[in-house]
Amino acid sequence: MPKVSIIMRSINDMEFIEATFQGILEQNFQDFEIVNVDSGSTDGTYELIQKYNKGTVYQIRPEEYVPGPVLNTAISRAKGELIVFNNSDCIPQNQDWLGNLIAPLSDSGVAASFGRQIPRSDSHPLVVKDYERAFGDGSISSQWHHFFSLATSAVPKDLITKYPFDLEVQYSEDIEWSYRMKKKGYEIEYVPDAIVEHSHNYTMPQVYKRFYEEGRAEAFIYGPDFKLFSKFLRPLGMEILRDIFYLVKTGNYDQIPYGLQYRAVQKYATYKGNKDFFNGNTYQN
């Protein structure tokens, strides 16, 4: 029985998935299996997965994708005592990524560990800035109310089986689960030397959709907070100031108009999602 089961979710990731497989297969820690679940890829991703993984590989229809049920099913098919989640576009950056990522789980008080994500070379300057704040050495995000990312992470199988992912939440399933574990007294450990390359340059409609849904999820996880000043205006003002300082510091003056639009869309979408959730709750507690 392998010590680790790496669960890899994918959909149309031909651009990155081969590099992800190669990075995983070159790890110094080799006691693992890979469990692939693909959401109806049409670009050759599924065929490439079958080339690299002769073990557990299966496909679902895109319309069947709900994070909680999909992840819980993948976990039930895994044989390892530790579960590692690594998205198909998260490319390990060194041969100790896996060993470093699972190391904190030797402590029974740790419910999960998560690695550092660095942006791709073509990332927008504000994406770079946001990733530096969220990840980096962890000093900034450690001051936030709660932070976790499932994209590259590890959990004990017995714990995630006992406390599975929520079946209803559509976004931020990782935040919901890790915050639930934190409330039970477990620790969540950030591992800055477990590094993958992973980022997205979203279009404005994609930014709105993502943060709208995250705003709804936040209301479910933490309770509703749609005060205009505290949820929208103050976060918007503070982030714009940080953006302008960063863009000037890095010489990206021409990106300031875009940055203003990006932040306004992001923060308004979060506020609107939170408010809409409160007015029409569809998740079940």
User: Does 20 score more than 50 pLDDT?
Assistant: yes
Q: What is the tens place of the pLDDT at every residue in 81-125?
A: 999 999 999 999 999 999 999 999 999 999 999 999 999 999 999
Q: What percent of the chain has pLDDT over 90?
A: 84
Confidence of residue 199 (pLDDT cuts 50, 70, 90): very high
Nearest by Cα to 67 from 172, 209, 188: 172
- For the chain, which domains are there? 4-197 (3.90.550.10), 204-279 (no CATH)
- The pLDDT of residue 281 is 65
Confidence of residue 282 (pLDDT cuts 50, 70, 90): low
Q: What is the tens place of the pLDDT at every residue in 228-244?
A: 767 778 888 999 999 99
Q: What is the tens place of the pLDDT at every residue in 32-91?
A: 999 999 999 999 999 999 999 999 999 999 999 999 999 999 999 999 999 999 999 999
Q: Whole-angstrom Cα distance, residue 76 to residue 42?
A: 26
